[in-house]
Amino acid sequence: MSIRRPTNNYSSPADRGGANKGAGRGVSHADEPRKGRSLTKSKGSAPGNPLREGVRLFQQKKYDAAVQELLQAKPSSEDYPRLSYYLGLCYTHLHSYDEALLYLEQVVTSEIGLPHIYQSRMILGYIYTVTERYRLAEFEFSKLLDEGFESAKVHAALGHVLFAQNQSGNSIEHLERALEMDPENATALNSLGYVMAENDMRLSEAFEYCKQAVKAAPHNPAYLDSLGWVFFRRRQLPEARRVLSEALKKAPNHPDIRAHLRTVINEIKRDGETSLNSSIGAEVPEE
């Protein structure tokens, strides 16, 4: 999930299927999603049809096979949104995001039922987030709130994409709301701590939030990165170096973690803390 942001800790809502500066909630024509692909419809479907088999394969996590089966289906009007839903989920798991968008956009305008619509909007928001189309992600998550789907996950996701658009104040409001609803939500804890640290504000609170997130998921490199960044903002350079080095070992190619650790090491060098200088030149490999 990555932005100059609460570090990327955003998992796909599809796993539970079976999350520009000053941009507002409106979507410009240039940002509008493409219209969904139409599936062939027929007046009925026989027992043992490809839709049923595709769902079975999806539940077995055989996503490629599920797609091939689902694409053979000739759904009735009643089954059509369900087929689009499962194709959207499969393509999301396969990281074929453009294809997933085509089908999920059809689901959210159908009458399939509220749980499927909620799930589809969450996945749409997730796809737009990981592909850095933050205005569209903001639209999807805001739409969920407008339609009464208020949850900690929605507020945390919206807080994430607002921060990506440099709307830190609005981001903090939604992240705090997420924690009111679910005080142990690790994603919200991490994101709120990071946003506060990035804005150099309420650092004692930021430290507590990030510490709780790491306690919940001690091996998550994104959470370690956020905690290390809070240490840096608090001028606790040895602690920042230690935690960020641990984060980089777990995610050696993550650009934000690399940048954060390099910033800390450079600060240590500027401060002339010779006790910390040994071997630090090799801690962050060159690109």
User: Hey, which of 28-32, 137-141, 270-274 has the most confident mean pLDDT?
Assistant: 137-141
78 and 1 within one domain = yes
Dig out the tokens for 41 from the structure. 């419809």
C-alpha distances in Å from residue 93, one per residue of 106, 161, 165: 18, 21, 26
Identify the domain containing residue 4 by its residue range: 1-17+34-39+49-182
How many domains are there within the chain? 2
C-alpha distances in Å from residue 237, one per residue of 67, 124, 127, 254, 274: 50, 39, 36, 21, 13
Residue 276 pLDDT greater than 80, yes or no: no
Provide the whole-model pTM: 0.76
In the block, tokens 């520009």 appear at: 20
234 and 157 within one domain = no
266 and 175 within one domain = no
286 and 214 within one domain = yes
Dig out the tokens for 242 from the structure. 């230690």
pLDDT in tens, 249-271: 999 989 999 999 999 999 999 87
pLDDT in tens, 61-108: 999 999 999 999 888 888 899 999 999 999 999 999 999 999 999 999
pLDDT in tens, 203-260: 999 999 999 999 999 999 999 999 999 999 999 999 999 999 999 999 998 999 999 9
| Per-residue pLDDT at 111 | 86
Percent of all residues in the chain with a pLDDT value above 90, rounded to a whole number: 69
Dig out the tokens for 176 from the structure. 């705090």
Please report which confidence band the pLDDT of residue 178 belongs to, taking 50, 70 and 90 as the band edges: very high
Among residues 133, 165, 163, 104, the alpha carbon closest in space to that of 31 is found at 133
Residues 6+ positions from 6 with CB-CB distance below 8 Å: 159, 160, 163, 187, 190, 191, 192, 193, 194, 195, 222, 226
Dig out the tokens for 32 from the structure. 């509008």
In the block, tokens 């690109």 appear at: 287
